[in-house]
A and B are shown apart, each in its own frame.
Chain A
Amino acid sequence: MNNILKEKDFIRRIEEISNQKIYDCYQCGRCTAGCPFAKFMDVPPNQVIRFIQLGLKDDVLAASGPWFCAACLVCQTRCPRGVDIPRLMEAVRMIHLRAKEGLIDVDKIDKEFLLDAPPLALMSAFSKYTY
């Protein structure tokens, strides 16, 4: 019973942050098919969504998929069910970041790159990867 409550809690939290209905997804896989970065992910977008539907919190939070999402919105454009998948990926990232678990340590970024990269690359990455 406790576990079921935890699962429902997790699903509700994702739905609140993303403002998406998680069961709208019927797993056609079109998001993953068009995702330019799916090949770098251990768990691709449609499977991340499946894990959320099943309330598999630990598996979702361990997946690299959401961190590889560049918010390019190709999947959002093509989803036949109107699911805004990048918002779901952001919700997973937000659960990490709000628990103070960032992906990158700003001090460890290569100095040469820091001087060379345009500010919007860094600002974007910091907003997605740091808390």
Chain B
Amino acid sequence: MTTYLLRRVGQAIVVIIGVMIVTFALIHLEPGSAARATLGIRANSERIAVFNAANGLNRPLAAQFATFVKQAAEGNFGTSYSMHQPVSTLITQRLPRDAVLLGLSTLVALAIALPMGIYQAVRRGRAQDHAFTVVSFVLYSMPDFFFALLLIAVFSVQFHLLPSQAPQAQSVGGILSDPRGLVLPVVTLSLVSVAGFSRYMRSSAIGTLAQDYILVARAKGLPNRLVLRRHVLRNSLLPVITVLGLQAPAIVTGAVIAESVFNYPGMGLLFYQAATSKDYPVLLGSTLVVGVATVVGSLLADIAYSLLDPRIRYDHS
């Protein structure tokens, strides 16, 4: 197992370096764009040159990249053009809030999707299976923003049950002390991922149910309920863990939408604001953070998988 993990960590490091190169290259896709974005479209070439010199943008790309890597390693992503704060401060403020929002919605999504997938697998091909299939496809096919606005229209505007604005508190504790405000963002984010998770769980469970060891378990005299709990659940969950790791980018995409609809002060909103105001240091820093988080996320998923699957845990070879 150790060799497997070492190889996996090695891959993750390679990918993180790749992410740095790509984000860096993206920002430099259009030379001078940073200056033009900050100074306005009427800036003349002289002022651009001054800006570039001041920000080190006129040095060779390789040198700029080296500086970028060095500073990124120190957690220094420069200062936001538009918010005039260090990017690292902006990010460290927001990351915990995202951990709350995304963690909660992923948990909710799994709590709904896993039983649903198993239920569909057991009832495969019957009316219940088809009904859940259609529901999950409709959820999946609904644009996130439309779903979010619909929730607001019904629960906030029509019935005044829940606030349409997410908690604005600075701290995690403050956010959690306003659970009502969290409901709609969490529902939006989770219901959209329910579809994906439950489809995957369904086909994984169908595969498990067809295994010989399930027949053996029934031949032992285990009632169906116990067969599902003891043998189907764990074996079907294993592949889903890996998918969870791969889902991270999709979850972030959802977060950008949900945070801008509900005005939740997280990374998604920060990112969206930076993109519209062309705040390159923020874009660069947050893309890098999100990319690294994704890589680490899927690495963690693989580690969890290898801990839960004895075939890898006790792999002597």
Report if A and B associate in a common complex: no
- Please give the residue numbers on chain A whose beta carbons come within 8 Å of chain B beta carbons, in ascending order: none
- Please give the residue numbers on chain B whose beta carbons come within 8 Å of chain A beta carbons, in ascending order: none
